Amino acid sequence: MAERNVEQQIQVRQVTDVHANWNEEGRGEPGKFSLQLILDDGAEEYAIRPPAEDTKVILKMLASAESVTFDLTNKVLIPSKIVSQQGGRARAKRAVEEPATD
């Protein structure tokens, strides 16, 4: 019983995997994307159905973030340390190690 109460209290979980798929809605009609978020190595799962434009952005965000959490209460993806694909991680690291001098 105590373990169940702890599970109910956890509202933010680590996204440990993402399964993406596309469904045909009708012949010749636009389809729909869905993303299945695997949380804490399968402790929980949550599916989202963003529009195609948002799906592209979300997938890029997931790929460029060091880690991502999902707030189950507020339904919010929270990326950590997003960097650009053009050497952004090196620039971000230098910015932390070498404070700006004005």
Could you tell me if residue 44 is inside a domain? yes
**Does residue 33 fall inside a structural domain?**
yes
Residue 102 placed within a domain: no
Q: What is the pLDDT of residues 31-66, one digit of tens each?
A: 899 999 999 999 999 999 999 999 999 999 999 999
Looking at the whole model, is its pTM more than 0.85?
A: no
User: What mean pLDDT comes out for the span 65-77?
Assistant: 93
User: Could you list the residue range(s) of the whole structural domain that residue 34 is in?
Assistant: 2-97
Q: What is the pLDDT of residues 1-29, one digit of tens each?
A: 556 665 566 689 999 999 999 999 888 88
Integer Cα distance of 25 and 15 in angstroms: 28
| 38 belongs to a structural domain | yes
Hey, which residues does 15 pair with through a beta bridge?
A: 39
Identify the pLDDT of residue 29. 86
Q: Which of 45, 73, 48 is nearest to 58 (CA)?
A: 48
Q: Work out how many domains the chain is built from and give that number.
A: 1
